[in-house]
Amino acid sequence: MGAGSHRLSRLPLWVNHWLGYRAETPPPSSNLVLCIWAFIGAFASLALLQGIFGLQYFADRNVPSIIASYGGSTVLVYGVIDSPFAQPRPVICGHFIAAVSGIIVTKVFLASGSESFNEYMWLAGALSCAIAIVAMQLTNTRHPPAGSTALLAAVNADVRDLGWYYLGIIMLSSVLVVAVAVITNNIQRNYPTFWFYYTDKMGTPLEMPEPEMMDHMGRDRRYSTYPIVRPSQRDRRVSTFNALGTVRMPPAVVVTDSSKMEFPSTDIEKQLPLAPAYF
């Protein structure tokens, strides 16, 4: 997508940079950079959440210092930032939908009395999580850690006592996690991949990929680029594959010069759709 064809390109550079917009696709970060910023982002966000919910205002309302499901969210938002499940819309809406599901199911079961609820708490927890998964699937806002958000509303006494106030805690937590990510993930990396809709470069909405379509880094296999392999590395790989009796090499981007790259032509490349873009 050209720089002038995206709505974020109309904003000043010092604004759209922190919203994840790049005129050109940035080079991939090293594993060391990923680890450093994942540590900083996760530490900062979890410390911020516990600091805020440790204030007297929240303590007077018996709010837990942190909702445990956000530990899982930090793994995605700071460690696997390219994953569709780590983007702002799934994070915020996924937790919100899960919290609503958990609260409603819990209140329905509580209407039958506390003694009866204790007997069927296992059913309330299972229903809360299952309904949340279906709701996230239907709204295209899947965020795996949100399953715990729904479950806690039923099985955790401290969270259960919050009632509808739990919804406000979840929304505040989600917004803070995304706010920290927008800062820490855009210093040497690029976040988010999209804000509202998962689209191709022409702006056509796409369905978020199923788990089996994700690679080990949480990226959509349909749009993953081939790894960059220098000739010396490729020669070693060819020798290894030949020794194993395999003569066909997977396609790769061969770097023959630091200033020039060759892209081997393969049939599969012609079939790949356009890569996702911000929207």
At 67, the pLDDT band (50, 70, 90 cuts) reads very high
| pLDDT, tens digit, 9 for 90 and up, residues 192-251 | 888 877 654 444 555 555 555 555 445 555 544 433 334 444 444 444 444 444 444 444
Helix (H) or strand (E) holding 143: none
| pLDDT, tens digit, 9 for 90 and up, residues 125-146 | 999 999 999 999 999 999 999 9
Listed as own residue / partner, the contacts of 2-9 with beta carbons closer than 8 Å and 24 or more positions apart are 6/277, 6/278, 8/278
30 versus 10: the higher-pLDDT residue is 30
Segment 34-51 mean pLDDT: 96
**Looking at the predicted structure, is the pLDDT value of residue 184 above 90?**
yes
pLDDT of residue 274: 43
The angle that helices 114-139 and 146-155 make with each other, rounded to 10 degrees, is: 160
At 183, the pLDDT band (50, 70, 90 cuts) reads very high
pLDDT of residue 117: 85
pLDDT of residue 129: 97
Report the share of the chain in percent with pLDDT over 90: 50
Alpha carbon 49 to chain centroid distance?
Answer: 18
Q: Both tokens of residue 96?
A: 């919100």
Segment 270-276 mean pLDDT: 45
- Tell me the residue ranges of DSSP E strands in the chain: 199-200, 228-229, 253-257, 260-262, 276-277
Residues 6+ apart with CB under 8 A from 19: 8, 11, 182, 195, 278
Question: Cα–Cα distance between 81 and 85 in angstroms, integer?
Answer: 9
**Looking at the predicted structure, is the pLDDT value of residue 7 above 70?**
no
Pairing verdict, β 228-229 and 260-262: unpaired
At 89, the pLDDT band (50, 70, 90 cuts) reads very high
pLDDT of residue 204: 52
41 versus 249: the higher-pLDDT residue is 41
pLDDT of residue 207: 59
- Which of 55-59, 167-171, 216-220 comes out lowest in average pLDDT? 216-220
